[in-house]
Each structure stands twice: as C-alpha cells, then as structure tokens.
Structure 1
C-alpha cells in the first residue's frame, strides 16, 4: 500500500503486533507513544560486506557479533554506490536522486537529482521522530550540505539542526583526520579548538559526545525516547587508527589478500551468509588486472601493504569498541532492552588507494582528469607512520577486494561490490523471530521501518507543502517472518554507471552510454542473481530480449527518479553556479580565529595563482606561524623561527623548505606570491618590503581536496603542515609583535582548471522579472 495513504501503525508490544491509527496532524512536537523504543542508527563509512565478524571477517568485532547473535542479519541488503546518496536515502526514505543526491555533496550542476540538498518538502527521519515526541541526536559525518554552504556565513537550512536534530557534533564534510580533525561543528557553530590534546582521537570523542547527549537527556527527562544517528568517519580515507589497536593486528595480514579472501568466503558459506552455490569471482572479472599477485611483491611491498590492512582492521575494531561503550551505557541506564540498534555501511569498500595503496591520500583522491607524467601518488615514508597522525593513507585495491568478498568491484560502481553492504538490526524487546534474513532490502526502506517500529507517523505535509511520497517500504513484516517478501525492484546509478535489480535478475551497465546510444543504450550485462549472486556469468547473449526489457525499465525508473542527465562527459563535475563566485573574492582574515572553512579557503587558492599580503609589526625575537593552510596531507605555511623567515611546502607528504634572515623590528609588508604554471605546478616566492627573500619553484600543485585544513592565521591549526615545526613548537602561536592584516588575493585561474561557472544568478533573476 502507498505510504502516503496507509496511515501509520503503532508498536504495541512486539514485532508483528500493531494497532492501526489514522495519521495525526502534527503539532510542533507530540508526545511519543508509551513504551516507544530508543533508536540508534550506526552508519559506517566505506565498510565492505565481509569486514565484520558476522559476515565472515577475521577482524575482532565481539560487540557486533553479539548484536548479530541476538538480532537480524541481512545478507541481501543494498545501498547506494556512494556515501551522500546512501545517507540521503536513509534519512528520507526516498531514492537517492529524488532526495537530491545522485552524487556526493561536492558538485552543484543545477539539476534536481544532483542538487546535493535534501528536499525541503521531504521530512527526514529525525524531523518525523522529533515531531512525534523523540529527542534527536547526531554525532559524526553529515555530508548532506553543499560544500559551498559549509562556511560560517552560509545559509544553514541544510545543516543537521535545521533538518531535525536537537543536538549535533561532528564533521559536516565528507571525512576528516581522526587524529587532527580539519573542522568540527557543534550544533550550528564551528568548535574553536586552538590545539588538540595529546592522544586525541575522533572516534573516541564522538562516542563521548553521544553518551553525553543521552546522559544530559536522562538527567532532565527519564521517559522521552531518543533517536541517535551515529555516523562514523571511519573507515573512509584517510584510514587512521590508534597505535595500540594497530599493534593488536601486527602480523595478521602477512599471508596476503588472496588467502584472506578465500578464508572469508569459506566462513561466509559455512554461516549461510552466501548460498552454497555462490562462486568467488576469479581474476579475469574480479579486477585482477588492478591487483598485483602477492607472491610477486617485494618484501618491502608486502610489509607495507600488510601494514595498510593492519590499520584498516584496527579502525574497524575501534568502531566495534565505540558501539560497545554506547551499549554498556544503555545497560547501565536499564534501556538496552528497548533500544533498536541498526548497524550498516553506506556503500561497498573502496579502491581509491590504487594497486599499491597510498601514503599520500590527497595526491589522487578527488581529482577529476589526468595528472602529468611523473606525478607522485605515494610519497615514500616509513611504514610505521601509516595510520598515525603524520600520514594520510588508503589501503590497496587488493584489500578492498577482500573487504567486498564475495562480490566484484568497489564503491562507486553498480556491481554488487559497490552496493551490497552489511546490515544488522537488534532489538531485544522485539526480537522473538530474529535470525538471518535473505530478503532484498534497500537503504530507503530503513526510515519507514523505524517509524513504524517507533509508532510515529511520517507527516503528510511539511514546510507548507504536501510531503514527497517516499520510495521505501517498511520491512517490519520481514523482521517478524523470515518467509515474508522483500523488495522486488530497485534502480542504481552513479557517474553514468547503471543497474536494475528486478527479482532474480540484474542488468548492469558499467560505463555511461554515449549521447547517440541513449539512456537505455550502451553496454549492458545480465546476471541471474538467484543462481549467480556474485555476477560471474554474463547472460546478455542468451537473453537479449530480457536484457532490453530491463534496460528500458531502468530508463523508466530513471525518469521517475530525476536521474537525468547522466554524467556521460564529466560536466556534472565541472559546471557550477556563478553564485559561488563570491567565495573567490579577496578576503581579510583575522588572527587566532578558527581556520577559514575548507571549501571557502580552496576558492582562494586551488587551481589558480594567488597572493597573500601580510602587514607585520615585529618586536625583537618575534616568532611563530604567520599563516598556514593545509596539514600532513598537503599544505603551505609562512613562519618566523630562530631569527629566520621560513617558507614551508608540504607536497602530499614531501616537505620542501626555504629560509632567509627574518626582518628586524618594525613595520613590514610581507607578500607571498604563488604562480600557477603549466603542468599543474606552482612557484612560491616571498617578498619583504618589496624585495624577494625566498622562493621555491616547480612544486606539484595541491588539488582536489587539498589543502584540506582551511587557512589559519597566527598559528598552525589541527594537522600541522610541517611536522618538524609542530614537534618543536606545537601550533606555534605567533608572539613578539602583531599581525595587523592578512589579505588573500586570488589571481588568474590555472589554464588546467576545467570549472565552468553557469550564470544561475542571472537566469533566476530573469525568471523573477
């Protein structure tokens, strides 16, 4: 039955026993139904299907193992191929494109399916639960706001508090460093942390904050149910973990990825996670051309690659620890029994690290287009630094294939490796019929399921309009009955890659079609998932009529879900609205404030020439950072140290420095001149009172998401640009004079900048007129 017409059903004791009520007209906030359960949704970033113990993994996850033993384990759960689309679908019950997220929140081409903003007329799960009497909390990764609206002067209508959460703490961006977060937000404001304490680790901080939110609620209201959305930043790159947890896994991955993949697959078959007839895809179709043979590697490569996986395993272990701490607190409060816990991944494991992994994450992440010959994508550094604060790393493709066992391909694709993810649901008070479920469930089914279990209806109208009809369907019947039917059909799309699951059949188009081929054209493959769940036998040549029908059905679904236009030529990444032009205007920065937000900072510097004009009033012995932009993933800084002027440049982990005698006491104008050269290179020079003092030429330009930490004035915030300087002085706060002014003056754009600013502002004004 259509969700908009069915009313809602209230939980009345246990799964399968509900009483129907008509949907109410919500006041500002109602009283939650008596006995309504708490709800905890823990979403993990880029976690592969087999990484957790219940799904065949060897990583130690005892808390999640217990959760699976007492609850439901879903073996046929699918999600979107990327993180923002999955999160939008989870929180709205809409399909990703109808929720505005055909891609992650780093594009803005002007099309409804790629708006990268949740629709105003689609109440989120948090908004519905809050209206129904719940307290609503969130910690962790948001990634549902356009990056151009993350800065401190932005419209906050798409920030967590404006989309239904009473409290929020975390990283609004797509990821961050776990040791030195680039930017944290509490509720609606940036957290001013001049320097992180020794041993700070974000996963621990998020867990502390989540527990504190629950405690602060219970001090004031012992009965109100809560919804906690805990969105981990792990295990998205840069993959990092605490030293003690990394040490726990030392030596466990020296046998290599092929051996681990076979062992995980054997456990999956033994546990019924995959059917007995499932086959493990072999190298010719399972990205063997991208994965070196373990036995052919050098000793150094095997040690380095094993270290990458030790760090990844430690990070997954830490996620389990965080859940354990949270559940232990609920036990102490006597509330674990009536708390629903949902644990899921947002997409499959990622091959971003490439065949050899990387210790220089930003040298290859977030880049669109080719880089010049000789580009260094893995700056050599000691392998013991992998996982720690000095290095931004990502594990190799071979380990990503292990993560996605038994499926082929990775995050960002529409093969099962990109969309088939782990899902565990636990609810001791309502788990009379728990166990393995092999029904097809999609991420948009989670919101209507949780609302039904909570006894809270989804508002029929929202923000003065009729609420968008949801696409998901409640799976309460599936929880109660292992023979109940699951979802029949679902479309998928990511960067022009297409797929449609329809019953036991799946059509996959791994590359975008050309304009001449049309939306249903191009190369399609056909798999019978009932007999071949791991997509090993392409039946396209055997059943061409069936395949054409599925491709046409995909086209129809795509029209209904605002999937078009397909990104068949990369323009969705290069076209942006001219309303962003203001972010590239000159700016004067204030010393010692929280750093300028990442995207705002990037508009001043990335893929362009620029200048930084600084007015300094120096006293004898003046020292400290004048300006810093970036972190250990890449950046630059200007400082005074030991009577010298220091220019430092971190090229994705390779440090370059130039020094000259510092100017004496008095008033000085210091100008940092950065010239964009051909071949994605930069030249840096520093003038003091009109005379050049230091320069560094032929530097690899910082691209994509680098510099990641925004511009700070008077100290080096967060992850340091120059680790040696950090070890000697910490954040190295400027002292011995005054920084009177710091002006960033953006210059000419690099000829290799593909960005096209579309005149959205003028077109909108024309419509108004």
Structure 2
C-alpha cells in the first residue's frame, strides 16, 4: 500500500495545474467550465427538448465497427457516424463499472466510489462498488428536468453482495432515477438463457426460449418503453440508457449473424489488424504517417504470429472471431431497429444518440481462447497446473447456447487497433473508446465536414455535455443534502464547427495500482509489473499521444522534467479522487467486510421459488465443503429437485423414469450418474467434500445410505455456477443440455418439501480475509 503524509489542494479540477503542455514546452489554456444551457443553431429548430439515447457496448474494441475501421459491416452505426461526429480521442476507464460510474455521474470513477468492478469491495471509499448518495445520476438529472427515464441492459453499479432479493435496493436503477428498467444488475450475463433479469425491482421468472437472443429482447423492451412514454406523454422527452451485454464474454451470437462472417478471418489476426489500420487512416482517424503498436509475443502478452499456427488451430481461432463479429452484427441490427422506430414515430432528427464502448477489447479468453469461459474467468489464485482451461466442443456449437466461449487475445489485439494491450490496462488499448454523437436537428454537419474530431475527452465529460446540449440543470441538492460537483466538463464545443474547443487541464486514469495522466500532447503511464514495481523514474513511460497515438515511442528519458511534473499531478489527482490506498498490498483484493458473512448462513428453499441470485448462491459453496439436503413428503415424482448453474458449469439432481439422477457440468465436461434407490426416499443429501487442488468429491446419501457419485471433479469457482440455485425446476440456463432438450425446465411433480443448503469448512486454498467492519471504519478515520 502506498501512503503519503502530504496534504494536497483538493480542488474539483482533477488535482492538476490550470495550464498544460502543448508539444514540448508550450502551454494550452485550461478546459472551460460548463456554459449556460444552450441549444445550437439547428437546420430545423427543435419544437421541444431533444430525446437522448446513450448506447454503451460492453468490452468492444476501438476498431470493431465500420466507422472506426472494421471490416465488420455495421451500416446502422455507420449511418449514425455519417449524420454526426466521431471522436477519435475519447477515453474511458480500463474496466466496465468505473466507466459506467463516470458516465452516470460526471465524476471520476474512484470519487464516484467505483474505481474497480462492482464485484470488489475491500472496504475503501474509492472501490466500494456503489455510487455515493450525493452524486446525481444522469437519470436523476434528466428526471428532475421533466424527462422520462428508461434503461435496458447491464447496470453493474451495485455491490455484488447487494444484488439479491433480500438486500437493500438503494443502489438499483429504479432507486437511482430510472422510471423503467429491464436488464441485469450483474457485470454480464449470457446472451441465451440469461441468468437473472430484473423488470424494475423484481426478478423475471419466465422461461426464455432457446432462440431468444438477449440483444433482440433488450431492443424490443426499449422500443416498448419508448412507446409507453409516447402513448401517454406526447410531448415528454425521454432519456434512454441502452447498456448492451454484448460483446462481453461468454461471447454468443445468432446463427445467421455468425454465418455472415464465415471465412472472413481465415487470413488471421496479423492481416486483419493491418487492414483495419489502413482503413482508419483512409477515414481520417489517424495521420498518414501514424504508426501502429508492435505485435509479437513480447508486445502482446504472448500472442503468436498467425503463420506460426497449425491449420486446425487457425480454423478454431477464426471461428471464435466469426462468433464475435456476429455479436457485433447483432448490435448493429439493434441500432437499426431503434433508429427505424424513431423515424417511424417522427423523433429521429430530434434525438441525440451517443454510441460508445465501456473499455477496450479484452484478452480474458487467454492466448488460446476458450470454450469454457468460466474456468478461465476466475479470480482464484494458486490454481493447479492441470486446471481445465478449454473443454473441446464441436466447431458448429461455438457461439450458440451450449458453449460459453471467448475469442483468443490475438483478436483482442485486432479489436484495439492500432493501440497497445487490452481491457484492464491504462494503455490506449484498454481505455480508448469509439465515440459517436448524432443529433441531426441540433448538431448538423457543415459542408465538407467529415465529422471527425480529435479533441481529448473523458467519459466523465459525457454527462455535462448532454446536460448542456439538452439545456437541463444538474441538481444542486440530492436527498436533502448538497450534491457533489462534477469532475467532467462539456465537450459540446467540439461538435460546433464555429467554435474553438479548449483543451483539458489534465485527466488521471487509475486502476489497481496502474497510473496514467493526460495533459496536452503528453500521456504519462505507470505499470509496475512491466518495470519491476515502485514509482521512481524507471516506473514511468511518457508518450506524445498526438504524434504517437499508439504509444510506440517512450520519451521518458528525453523529458524527465515532464515526467516528474505529471507524476506529481497524478499524485494530487489521486488524493483528490480517493484513489489511495492503492492495492499494491497483495492481500487487499481478497479482503471482504465481515457483513458479507451473513450471506454464508444456511438457507432453505421452497420448490418453485424464484431462482436464488448468483452471489447469494455462490457464498454457500465457494471454495468449501457443503451439503444439499432435499426432503420429500410422499412418493418420488418426476422433475428437477435442485439445480445450480448452467452450460458454463453447474450440477443438477432430478428424478426421471422412476430413477434418481445426478449431472455435473465441469465447464462443459459432463458427468452423469444414477443414484441407487431401494424405495421412495424421505431425504436425499448431496455432500460436496473439498479436496486438494480445487476439486470436490460428491457423495449422495439416501435415507442414510451413502454412494460416491464422483470421486473427483474440478470445483466451480469464480463466476461459476453463474445461474443461481433453483428448487423444483431448472431455472435460467440449463445445466444438462440433453435433459433440457427432453424436458425443458422440468418442474418437479412429486412431494418435494424443501431443499436446504448447509455450508461446511472452507478449503485451505480459500484465501479470503474477513475484516471486521469496525476495523475498516477505524482505518478510514486514521
């Protein structure tokens, strides 16, 4: 942990000086504060306040849509760019939750309490996983100015231990300013059989059909919400936040969308990346003499050259990218449906549409990609060398509901063309996002204006920009207390061809010990693992991101004075934004507050009750032994007794054809067995005993008689089982696909009384550190 006894000037200017570098030694003026509400001179005067739609894509790289150089045909997104403006120097946080926090509040992520993903809460203000009560969200601002506020899709601004039905809903979308909500509180969900969807504040309990694709469903829900507003409030403007779950892993797409890209990636990632960069220069996104960041294993965290792969490996890797491209096509179809509906109801021209991604393309599929996403997407340390990473599946199943997969890191390198590295880093590949802003009636383009803007902007600037464009006022009080000031500044001037935008004074980006600071032409980067740790001169890299946007040339040795100056400004900004303490201490990220122990208490479920939420379910089994007891009150019927998980990993106990059966899905590797029965049981207990090496032995005890079902299987860890526990049916995604094809949800028809989960001893490799909540409070006071 880094500590510092100095007391900085805590200004709402990101802690930076009021002037910044422009080139090598020059200065620029500070970023201006937000001007008074303004409507630009339109080509057709809006008769009412504009509608606003913010479309945010999950884990999509800078170059993945055609306006930013992609070979993926995205005509609807291209049309938005043709009607509006592309910002090529727009930055976000390295991961999703912090970006969403800054977008919603106009404040920097740590200051908004979400400096990392909302799944993490070690008890410090900057990474507690939820928005402060004194920071108005965009929804609260727009609703306070007379707008209807609507949301569909991913929220990810609620601490994960507060997502279950017994938790406070104070951080859920409806309580943070939205009139309507349909989507997932989680950081992601599957595109087929989503694991947990809310409508407003209630879980959706319907069974999703096998071909019900989530992007399409979210689009239909959004259109229905718009129509609901229009049918009752003809002149009331609306704010719609459409937060796509695509293209976050597990990456899935519709069959026709994948087929449309068949063979498009056979040439490999080196060729596709080079072609994208050439298109980007042709589009005017970069200068003709701009350089692309280098490839090769030493520059890409291990990605091999395409021509070094054998034929079968190339075929598999190309299919992974076809799936990803199909998911992007699904997003474009969604945009097309929204725009067509707006035009049909006469609202397109007076609707501001913002399109962006929450971070760069991700390497979490690993160098080889995976068809077993949850075995790779785990936060557990010390996994054995033989840990399952990729269960082989037929190529034709990739992208469908049976496979939870993700493309290899080489394709993420393509997604982030021309930048370095990936999601999760403060290099440009992690934080440079495509941004399109379109408002035909209010922001028309002049003759000869290609709509490409290279002005620096940060995600916290979006809220002030939209507030200015719409003429709405951010509240000065919230819930009876003064509202926090924003950190962002409007970049609306960059969208007005007659005005000269001002440059920002400075912007820090921080994530899990990584540091970055922008000012004028310069970007300072500190990534400890690349240069042996510490924060001395050898720690820092310096780039001229105007001349060198892909961070190819490190200038730190040439300009030590600039490095020292920007490093100090980063430190001041970090203090102001509650970035400290930094998680350099290895145990910090495995600390949990003692209040989380409430979720580890035994639970009894009645048959047919809504599926228990994922985190509440996982706490009962996480890296430990546990027992599941089912009690019966009559003859053995048919149906699912208990189910936990889905095609990404899980287990299920069911009765069929007068037999008791058990299936265990080890990240796609199926284990099926029958449990001996002498008569109708009164109790059946499944005992999961933790073994060395992240494994379980599973035993069935039927009325006192024990039978070992599986000697050893890999534990379900991290985000698996993803779908929570269902008693009396197979809720959410199916655990055993063959059973699902035969029986669907297969509701239990006999006399099942209840199912009880009893957590047992934690395994020695469970490295969670429980910290008393009063100890955390004392640390913060000190």
TM range (shorter): over 0.9
Q: Does 1:472 align with 2:484?
A: no
Counterparts in 2 of 1:659 and 1:367: CA distance versus 1, 3 Å:
same
Q: Which residue of 2 aligns with 1:22?
A: none
- Deviation at residue 60 of structure 1 after TM alignment: 1.1
- How far apart, CA to CA, are the structure 2 residues paired with 1:570 and 1:471? 30
- Between stretches 485-494 and 130-139, larger displacement belongs to 485-494
- Deviation at residue 715 of structure 1 after TM alignment: 1.1
What is the DSSP-based 3-state SS (H/G/I as helix, E as strand, rest coil) of the residue aligned with 2:742? helix
- How far apart, CA to CA, are the structure 2 residues paired with 1:560 and 1:250? 50
- How far apart, CA to CA, are the structure 2 residues paired with 1:516 and 1:766? 25
Contact 1:11 1:17 in 2 (8 A): no
Q: Which residue of 2 aligns with 1:322?
A: 334
What is the DSSP-based 3-state SS (H/G/I as helix, E as strand, rest coil) of the residue aligned with 2:366? coil
Counterparts in 2 of 1:569 and 1:730: CA distance versus 1, 3 Å:
same
Counterparts in 2 of 1:728 and 1:287: CA distance versus 1, 3 Å:
farther
Contact 1:49 1:348 in 2 (8 A): yes
Contact 1:182 1:710 in 2 (8 A): yes
- Deviation at residue 284 of structure 1 after TM alignment: 5.2
- Deviation at residue 642 of structure 1 after TM alignment: 2.3
- Deviation at residue 399 of structure 1 after TM alignment: 0.4
- Deviation at residue 682 of structure 1 after TM alignment: 0.8
- Between stretches 232-241 and 473-482, larger displacement belongs to 473-482
Aligned partner (choices 734, 739, 744) of residue 725 of structure 1: 739
What is the DSSP-based 3-state SS (H/G/I as helix, E as strand, rest coil) of the residue aligned with 1:334? coil
Q: Which residue of 1 aligns with 2:61?
A: 48
Is there any run of 5+ residues in structure 1 with no aligned partner, and where?
19-32
- How far apart, CA to CA, are the structure 1 residues paired with 2:333 and 2:544? 39
Q: Which residue of 1 aligns with 2:20?
A: none
Q: Which residue of 1 aligns with 2:461?
A: 445
- Give the 5 Å matches for 1:256-295: 256-283=268-295, 287-288=299-300, 290-295=302-307
Counterparts in 2 of 1:582 and 1:491: CA distance versus 1, 3 Å:
same
Q: Does 1:538 align with 2:554?
A: yes
- How far apart, CA to CA, are the structure 1 residues paired with 2:317 and 2:533? 43
Q: Does 1:251 align with 2:232?
A: no
- Give the 5 Å matches for 1:604-623: 604-619=620-635, 622-623=637-638
- The CA deviation string for residues 225-244 of structure 1, in whole angstroms up to 9 with x for no partner, is 00000000000000000111
- Give the 5 Å matches for 1:148-159: 148-159=161-172
Q: Does 1:234 align with 2:251?
A: no
Contact 2:153 2:218 in 1 (8 A): yes
What is the DSSP-based 3-state SS (H/G/I as helix, E as strand, rest coil) of the residue aligned with 1:76? strand
- How far apart, CA to CA, are the structure 2 residues paired with 1:516 and 1:390? 42
- The CA deviation string for residues 664-700 of structure 1, in whole angstroms up to 9 with x for no partner, is 33x5111110111111111111100011134202211
**RMSD across aligned C-alpha pairs, in angstroms?**
2.4
- Between stretches 753-762 and 724-733, larger displacement belongs to 753-762
Q: Does 1:688 align with 2:715?
A: no
Q: Which residue of 1 aligns with 2:325?
A: 313
- How far apart, CA to CA, are the structure 2 residues paired with 1:162 and 1:255? 49
- How far apart, CA to CA, are the structure 2 residues paired with 1:698 and 1:310? 35
Aligned partner (choices 97, 110, 121) of residue 110 of structure 2: 97
What is the DSSP-based 3-state SS (H/G/I as helix, E as strand, rest coil) of the residue aligned with 2:36? strand
- Between stretches 474-483 and 8-17, larger displacement belongs to 8-17
Q: Which residue of 1 aligns with 2:359?
A: 347
Q: Which residue of 2 aligns with 1:625?
A: 640
Is there any run of 5+ residues in structure 2 with no aligned partner, and where?
1-10, 14-31
- How far apart, CA to CA, are the structure 2 residues paired with 1:517 and 1:349? 28
Report the TM-score, using the length of structure 2 for normalisation. 0.92
- Deviation at residue 429 of structure 1 after TM alignment: 0.4
- Deviation at residue 287 of structure 1 after TM alignment: 3.0
- Deviation at residue 734 of structure 1 after TM alignment: 1.3
Aligned pair count reads 749
- How far apart, CA to CA, are the structure 2 residues paired with 1:11 and 1:454? 7
- How far apart, CA to CA, are the structure 2 residues paired with 1:299 and 1:463? 62
Counterparts in 2 of 1:151 and 1:408: CA distance versus 1, 3 Å:
same
Q: Which residue of 1 aligns with 2:656?
A: 641
Contact 2:644 2:723 in 1 (8 A): yes
Q: Which residue of 2 aligns with 1:698?
A: 712
- How far apart, CA to CA, are the structure 2 residues paired with 1:118 and 1:172? 14
Report the TM-score, using the length of structure 1 for normalisation. 0.94
Aligned partner (choices 401, 406, 410) of residue 394 of structure 1: 406
Q: Which residue of 1 aligns with 2:474?
A: 458
What is the DSSP-based 3-state SS (H/G/I as helix, E as strand, rest coil) of the residue aligned with 2:717? coil
- How far apart, CA to CA, are the structure 1 residues paired with 2:505 and 2:437? 21
